[in-house]
């Protein structure tokens, strides 16, 4: 009788221990399964040509079967917190830049990434804009030159104007049988003069998102334009140096 009782105790003990051991994770695999842990992802976004940080843009993290995450670029940076572990598609969009997509594996803890975006404009187009800025505003402050560049980019983004840099800069309108150039340097040929480094830098800053013009789509020099001109009827945004900017 004692032998049967002792055998029963041994069997029960073996079953109990077996149940405990089966609940432990496999040896050497401490990683949590996808989605069971949370992490943070911080990134910086720069212009691939100038290295300047972008002022704005949209960033998303997506994967099948998940609503994903979305945030914005501010001051050249973005951050996601409370991200479930797993592999995601990172998508970054910014005005005047080519969209970037790449896979990122979020494994837990803090994760950082640096990304460069390429402008949609060619080197020749950016040089054209720099030459316009030089011709129009070479005597203005650096901020004033950035503002001039920004107004041209604002026209490219506006539905009332051509959607290319060359189209905006070379645009000619006809009114009353007369042809009107949008920019005087195109008419008088000074746009063909080489751009200064300052003008090139101003274009880079405007492209990255700095807009001292306040969203303007045009500018003029009040001291040189007659009061009867149509530009005086437009809504002003700011005056920088000798230029008044308007929408």
> pLDDT of the chain along its 247 residues, tens only?
444 444 343 333 333 333 332 222 333 334 445 445 789 999 999 999 999 999 999 999 999 988 899 999 999 999 999 999 999 999 999 999 999 999 999 988 898 999 999 999 999 999 999 999 999 999 999 999 999 999 999 999 999 999 999 999 999 998 888 899 999 999 999 999 999 999 999 999 999 999 999 999 999 999 999 998 999 999 999 999 999 999 9
Tell me how far apart the alpha carbons of residues 131 and 127 are, in angstroms, rounded to a whole number: 6
pTM of the model: 0.83
Neighbouring C-alpha atoms within 13 Å toward the C-beta of 159: 0
Residues sharing a CB contact under 8 Å with residue 168, sequence separation 6 or more, in sequence order: 152, 155, 156, 161, 162, 182
Domains delineated in the chain: 38-117 (2.60.40.1120), 123-246 (1.10.10.2520)
Tell me how far apart the alpha carbons of residues 147 and 243 are, in angstroms, rounded to a whole number: 10
> What's the token pair of residue 88?
């995601």
The sign of the CA dihedral 201, 129, 50, 207 is: positive
């Amino acid at each position: 009788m004692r032998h049967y009782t002792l055998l029963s105790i041994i069997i029960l003990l073996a079953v109990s221990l077996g149940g405990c051991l089966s609940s432990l994770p496999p040896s050497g695999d401490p990683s949590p399964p996808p989605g069971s842990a949370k992490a943070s992802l911080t990134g910086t976004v720069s212009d691939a040509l100038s290295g300047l940080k972008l002022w704005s843009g949209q960033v998303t993290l997506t994967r099948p079967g998940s609503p994903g995450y979305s945030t914005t670029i501010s001051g050249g940076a973005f951050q996601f917190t409370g991200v479930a572990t797993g592999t995601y598609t990172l998508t970054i969009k910014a005005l005047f830049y080519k969209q970037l997509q790449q896979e990122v594996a979020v494994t837990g803890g803090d994760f950082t990434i640096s990304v460069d975006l390429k402008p949609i404009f060619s080197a020749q187009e950016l040089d054209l804009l720099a030459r316009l800025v030089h011709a129009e505003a070479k005597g203005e402050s650096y901020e004033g030159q950035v503002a001039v560049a920004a107004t041209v980019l604002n026209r490219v983004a506006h539905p009332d104007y051509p959607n290319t840099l060359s189209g905006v800069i070379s645009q000619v309108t006809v009114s009353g049988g007369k042809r009107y150039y949008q920019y005087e340097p195109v008419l008088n040929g000074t746009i063909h003069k080489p751009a200064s480094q300052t003008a090139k830098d101003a274009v880079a800053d405007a492209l990255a998102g700095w807009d001292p013009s306040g969203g303007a789509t045009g500018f003029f020099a009040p001291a040189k334009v007659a009061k009867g001109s149509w530009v005086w009827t437009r809504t002003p945004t700011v005056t920088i140096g000798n230029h008044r900017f308007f929408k």
